[in-house]
Amino acid sequence: MLTRDLISPVLPHLQLQDKVFNALQLMNDCHVAHLPLAHEGLYIGLVSEEDLLQTPDDTVEIRAVKESFPLIKVLPDDHFLKALHITAEGKLTVIPVVSPDNELMGSVSYRELIKQASEFMNVKEPGGLVVLEMEAREYSFSEISRLVETNDAQITQLNTYTDPETGLMQVTFKINKVEISDIVATFQRYEYNVKNAFGEEFYENELRNNYDNLMNYLKI
């Protein structure tokens, strides 16, 4: 899924002549804390609610708020996971989609990106989730897959994340079985460190709680 396919038809953009209080009202109406700023169709930067709230006089035009705004953006042909990574890192509520010619094409909301990530990881489909922790040199997808298949199951999703503090790799994989005790036992028998195991459906709230395990996917 590309970012251009996720552009919201209802998220507006701001213009230099817009009043600060009008911009704040738009953000409130759209339940976001950021909106892109454009002039004659060209992208200028991303305006935050925090920027606007620091203005002593909310009747002034946006052009008077500050000299420049961060040029955070994604291209229309970027994968949605790149957009999700940028929004998560920047704690953004929307991300502008801007053409190579700097034309503002629209915005994608963080909520929509989370929804797409949920679908991408099949979090709504029944299945178990297992998190292994190991040295990077010990990682072998073929062996992990083989051990899962010996229990009449298959891996439906897998990603890796290396903890910058410990240097240990976390391997998170989802399987097409809800009952995972036998699979956990198999990995423990082969002396794998099973850090976490979830034997139930993995919904969006679990996706957010285990977001670090998705970062390997997002850094593309």
Q: What is the pLDDT of residues 20-79, one digit of tens each?
A: 999 999 999 999 999 999 999 999 999 999 999 999 999 999 999 888 899 999 999 998
What interhelical angle do 110-120 and 80-90 show, nearest 10? Answer: 130
129 close to 178: Cβ distance less than 8 angstroms: no
Cα separation, 115 vs 204, in Å, equals: 8
Check pLDDT > 90 for residue 207. Answer: no
Q: How confident is the model at residue 215 (pLDDT cuts 50, 70, 90)?
A: low
Do the strands 34-39 and 14-15 form a parallel or antiparallel pair, or are they unpaired? parallel
What interhelical angle do 181-189 and 141-149 show, nearest 10? Answer: 130
Q: Which CATH class is domain 122-218?
A: alpha beta
For residues 98, 89, 212, 179, the Cα torsion angle rounded to the nearest 10 degrees is -50
Do 3-118 and 122-218 fold alike per CATH?
A: no
- One-letter identity of residue 81: L
Domain boundaries, the chain: 3-118, 122-218
38: part of which helix (H) or strand (E)? strand 34-39
Q: What is the pLDDT of residues 127-159, one digit of tens each?
A: 888 999 999 999 999 999 999 999 999 998 888
Q: How confident is the model at residue 189 (pLDDT cuts 50, 70, 90)?
A: very high
CATH number of the domain located at residue range(s) 3-118 in this protein: 3.10.580.10
* Mean per-residue pLDDT, 149-174: 90
Q: In this predicted structure, what is the pLDDT of residue 203?
A: 38
